Structure 1
Amino acid sequence: MNLRPITVRLAGQTYELTTANGIFSPERIDTGTRVLLDHVPAAPPGGQFLDLGCGWGPLALTLALESPHATVWAVDVNTRALDVVRLNAQKLGLTNINPVTPDDVPDDLLFTAIWSNPPIRIGKDELHNILTRWLPRLEPGSDAWLVVQRNLGSDSLHRWIEAALPELKTTRAAISKGYRVLRSHRPRRTADD
């Protein structure tokens, strides 16, 4: 693996981390991820968090830094990316990150927060399969935050989530630099439910 240093700003601090070829955006925090980091509210202080499609880890590392009492599941199909997340977590002394493939996440686990710059370019059907697998695993009262480039179908994805997962209330939370930040919220159950 061809490792190289990268200087990034996460959770209000500058860090010297590691990245590698063969993973998403190895030279920098990509624009979409930066837009998400700049517009998502602070994560809850604890719980089970999911970074879906973690790449080298900017979202997972931010979640772990900001919420040290949470468990962060950094999920990716690219094992090289998971190795780099593991290395970066060790470098930062973070013990609350689990870099794993999708099949290594316990099936009964629900999430307090989901943050993702989803892999849009894998195709609509596969993306829909991924979101159908993970978004319903939000705990009641919790949010998924997704960032999607406008010209890569953010508005149609928003409509699809509303139609396919009506138990979630999905809204456009922010627009910046050609990206949309979508919030999918699972309401708490009420006594009337």
Structure 2
Amino acid sequence: MAEQYFAQEPHAEHDIHEIEFNLADLNLHLKTDAGVFSKSRIDYGSVALMKQVMELDLVPGKILDLGTGYGPMGLMLAKKYPERALDLVDVNERALELARTNAEFNAITNVNIFTSDIYETVTERYALIVTNPPIRAGKKVVNQIHEQALDHLLSGGQIVTVLQKKQGAPSARKLLTATFGNCDILARDKGYYILRSVKQ
């Protein structure tokens, strides 16, 4: 059975790539490797999500990138909001090492990068949680990410998530609506739904 990117200690043979991520006049140079999500390019869903997130008005507070991988979304937000602190978390230790390397390489210092299985070691509340949830980890994990976000947001805080329609976006929207009392579709983009709920 092929090893999944949400394994804690990937054993795949190293295969370092270097890629660029450009968005809203901001630029990142990123190292990736085998055993992490979307190693060859920034996946379409993450880019579609980030295009929407960059336009949001946020309440004051920290930002959480849940399932950061090698860090493209969290590090891009850290560049956009140098005055804010960001937490970047993942269960994949190889991905976290890459995220730390990428933060250093891009001279980004307003990030704290640490291991967390979903919200297991997350103790704070945030103005924004962004996530491209690991669909292959199963619906239970994805549902936990969305439901438990409520407990980790400040008043007025937002969760923004991306799912493909065929991979459960409509049911995720129902769950978010039931949890938060609201869920907007910020965009539909090539089958990807960008969903946003706000803690009232």
Letter matched to residue 181 of structure 1: I
- Higher strand share goes to which structure? 1
State the partner residue of 1:32.
45
Identical positions, percent: 36
Aligned residue among 70, 91, 94 for 1:80: 94
Partners of 1:21 and 1:135 in 2: CA distance = 33
Q: Secondary structure at the match of 1:21?
A: coil
| CA–CA distance in structure 1, aligned partners of residues 162 and 183 of structure 2 | 13
Name stretches of at least 5 consecutive residues in structure 1 with no aligned partner: 188-193
Range with greater deviation from structure 2 (83-92 or 128-137): 128-137
User: Counterpart in 2 of 1:137?
Assistant: 152
Q: Which of 12, 27, 49 is the aligned partner of 1:14?
A: 27
Partner secondary structure for residue 98 of structure 2: helix
Tell me the CA shift for residue 11 of structure 1.
4.4
Residue 22 of structure 2: SS of its match in structure 1?
Answer: strand
Query: How far has the Cα of 1:104 moved from its partner?
Result: 3.6
Partners of 2:59 and 2:156 within 8 A in 1: no
Give me the CA root mean square deviation: 1.8
Measure the CA separation in 2 of the matches of 1:87 and 1:29: 17
Aligned length: 183
- In the TM superposition, 1:140-159 aligns within 5 A as 140-159=155-174
**Pairwise CA distance, 1:172:** 1.2
Work out whether residues 161 and 196 of structure 2, in 8 Å CA contact, stay in contact via their aligned partners in 1: yes
Partner of 2:85: 71
Counterparts of 2:70 and 2:158, CA distance in 1 = 23
CA distance in 2, matches of 1:17, 1:58: 8
Question: Match for residue 185 of structure 1?
Answer: 198
Q: Distance in 1 between matches of 2:23 and 2:60?
A: 18
| TM-score computed with the length of structure 2 as normaliser | 0.84
**2:64–2:87 Cα contact (<8 Å) kept:** yes
Matched, 1:171 2:189: no
- Could you tell me which amino acid in structure 2 is paired with residue 25 of structure 1? S
- The residue type paired with residue 36 of structure 1 is L
CA distance in 2, matches of 1:122, 1:147: 15
Alignment equivalent of 2:104, drawn from 82, 90, 103: 90
**1:46 shift after superposition:** 5.3
Counterpart among 135, 151, 157 of residue 120 in structure 1? 135
Matched residue type, 2:154: E
Give the 3-state SS of the residue equivalent to 1:169 in structure 2.
coil
8 Å CA contact 1:85, 1:99 repeated in 2 = yes
